[in-house]
Amino acid sequence: MFRCIVGSLAWRLRIRLQNRMSHSLAAVCQVTATPDKEANFSACKQLVEEAKQRGASMVFLPEGFDYIGSSREETLSLSESLTGDTVSRYTQLARKLDVWLSLGGFHERGPKWETDRRIYNSHIIINEKGDIVSVYRKSHLFDVELPEKGVSLKESAFTIPGSSLVSPVQTPIGKIGLGICYDLRFPELSLALQRHGAEILTYPSAFTVATGAAHWEVLLRARAIETQCFVLAAAQVGQHHEKRSSYGRALAVDPWGEVLGDCGGEKPGMVLVEIDLDKVSSTRRNMPVQQHRRDSDFYDGVEKT
């Protein structure tokens, strides 16, 4: 009888723990970064503190959370290494608040910085102990000329493309696959991360106003639908300096493609979303797309007519 009661209690505790693990809060943030690194940190810190106070176990900051420079020279001069002051301040913040952080796009000095003055665009995951547990370096660089839209950016002029994807990271809200901004346009990346166990995909971004208005929501929803993952996309919004503005609308999308949260396109803020991993498993079970996928040879070959 005693063993039976202990077993029953243990079973109930295990179920409660599972429920707690499958239902957790994520904060998806929207900021307006400028070349002022101190002001940017202060704004992001305030959002992280608010998110923690409201129950978030993980907070997502966008690409360029550290700064957005007004010129190539300024962008390079403000860059740091992973052991520099900026990342150190965020590791201390994560440890102090007992919260996980996704730092969506950090200007990291490259391995030959002293000779070539080139950087990585790096997505950093920090755990609640203040440890860096993963670094993904953006692999698709935004080199786009859209004269009719007033868009002209050449990221490769000073940025090194990352050499590989990184394995999805186990976090308190689920297993997260990492991308950055322009990576969103490449479904091969999201499908590869899903095959390696991702339950959540994240695309911290600084979309231009023109491309954001045309493509932002539809791309995020498409990535969620095709992988049957949650998609979380922190975003830059508004005027960074006289030469650049961002679209905003930080979004959270569920595995069915439904938008769960939207920060709008006007000002900084955050949206809190419940991550229920049962939605991932039920969506995949009810529509087993990955089981229906043919092998890679099938898609590589197209019959000639």
Among this protein's residues, is 114 annotated catalytic? no
Q: 3-state secondary structure string, 190-219?
A: HHHHHHCCCCEEECCECCCHHHHHHHHHHH
Name the active-site residue from 29, 44, 52, 63.
Answer: 63
Q: Which of 44, 181, 229, 263 is catalytic?
A: 181
The DSSP-derived string for the chain is -HHHHHHHHHHHHHHHHHHHHHEEEEEEEEE---S-HHHHHHHHHHHHHHHHHTT-SEEEEEETSS---SSHHHHHHT-B-TTSHHHHHHHHHHHHHT-EEEEEEEEEE-TTHHHH--EEEEEEEE-TTS-EEEEEE--S--EEEEGGGTEEEEGGGTBPPPSS--PPEEETTEEEEE--GGGGG-HHHHHHHHHTT-SEEE--B---HHHHHHHHHHHHHHHHHHHT-EEEE-EEEEEEETTEEEE---EEE-TTS-EEEE--SSS-EEEEEEEEHHHHHHHHHHS-HHHHPPPHHHHH-----
Please say if 263 is a catalytic residue: no
Catalytic residue, from 44, 108, 138, 229: name it.
Answer: 138
User: Phi and psi of 114, rounded to 5°?
Assistant: -65, -25
Active site residue 229: no
Active site residues: 63, 138, 181
